[in-house]
């Protein structure tokens, strides 16, 4: 599958490139094609040193989108709306994955500050052509952890979207990263709840007494037997 990472020269985008490049063709998108190509060469060289012959190319964002079957919008939220509006005509019927989180910082605290649409993912759905299938995912995965290929990532990736087959494609991408588990959280409106987890995790990591660095999410079964599971929902 051809995957475009729009904003692929940033930390989070680079982490996805390195985690997926062994199994998929990756196109790094940037506002500057030269910068994207330089990043592609650097990551290809690094992976080659680990015995991985990756297929990574760099292109200007719009060209990367047009070449791809799946697009990850690895963008800072403050730039996301105008950039997506500018790139809108490059989209066709791709799956678009949004890990974007609208948030602000007040002192040491991070707050979730969604747009009028309710979430970044819902905003993208409204901005993009109806043929595009938007899926919200990867909000609770740390960029530094993704980039460190020697680090084992553990936990769950919550996925929300209105098209079940598109969510399955994204779930398969999650499974490429060993020990991560994809969980279907429901339709795209649930993205309002998923995106809000990111500032919560950042707030937890900022409290010295917690001793938490690069936190993620893991869903555990609190009712260990079938009988107890029934009682949990009664």
How high is the pLDDT of residue 213? 78
The proportion of the chain whose per-residue pLDDT surpasses 70, expressed as a percent, equals 95
Q: Which residue has the higher pLDDT, 83 or 216?
A: 83
**Domains in the chain: ranges and CATH:** 2-232 (3.40.50.720)
Average pLDDT for residues 140-161, to the nearest whole number? 92
Burial 109-134 (b: 16+ CB within 10 A, else e): ebebebeebebbbbbbbebbeeebbb
pLDDT at residue 231 is higher than 60: no
How does pLDDT run across 40-52, given as a tens digit for each residue?
Answer: 999 999 999 999 9
Q: CA nearest 125: which of 196, 192, 197?
A: 192
pLDDT at residue 112 is higher than 80: yes
What's the longest Cα–Cα distance across the chain? 60
Paired with 161 in beta bridges are 135
pLDDT at residue 234 is higher than 50: no
How does pLDDT run across 68-107, given as a tens digit for each residue?
Answer: 999 999 999 999 999 999 999 999 999 999 999 999 999 8
pTM of the shown model:
0.91
Q: CA nearest 162: which of 122, 116, 197?
A: 122
**What's the rounded Cα separation, in Å, for the pair 212 and 205?**
5
Average pLDDT for residues 220-225, to the nearest whole number? 74
Helix (H) or strand (E) holding 98: strand 95-98
230 falls in which pLDDT band (50, 70, 90)?
Answer: very low
State how far the alpha carbon of 188 is from the alpha carbons of 22, 71, 119, 159, 195, in Å: 29, 17, 9, 9, 11
pLDDT at residue 226 is higher than 70: no
pLDDT at residue 229 is higher than 50: no
């Amino acid at each position: 599958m051809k995957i475009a990472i729009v904003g692929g020269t940033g930390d989070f985008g680079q982490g996805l490139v390195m985690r997926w490049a062994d199994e998929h063709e990756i196109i790094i998108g940037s506002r500057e094609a030269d910068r994207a190509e330089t990043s592609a060469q650097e990551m290809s060289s690094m992976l080659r040193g680990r015995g991985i012959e990756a297929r990574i190319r760099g292109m200007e964002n719009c060209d990367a989108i047009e070449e791809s079957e799946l697009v990850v919008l690895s963008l800072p939220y403050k730039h996301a709306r105008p950039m997506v509006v500018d790139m809108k005509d490059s989209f066709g019927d791709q799956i678009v994955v949004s890990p974007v989180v609208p948030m602000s910082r007040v002192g040491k605290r991070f707050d979730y500050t969604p747009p009028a649409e309710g979430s970044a993912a819902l905003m993208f759905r409204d901005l993009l052509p109806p043929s595009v299938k938007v899926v919200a995912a990867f909000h609770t995965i740390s960029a530094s952890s993704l980039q460190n290929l020697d680090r084992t990532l553990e936990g769950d990736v919550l996925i929300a979207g209105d098209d079940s087959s598109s969510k399955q494609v994204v779930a398969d991408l999650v499974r490429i990263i060993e020990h991560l588990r994809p969980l279907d959280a429901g339709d795209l409106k649930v993205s309002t709840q998923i995106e809000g987890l990111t500032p919560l995790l950042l707030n937890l990591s900022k409290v010295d007494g917690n001793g938490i660095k690069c936190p993620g999410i893991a869903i555990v079964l609190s009712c260990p037997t079938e009988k107890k599971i029934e009682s949990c929902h009664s």
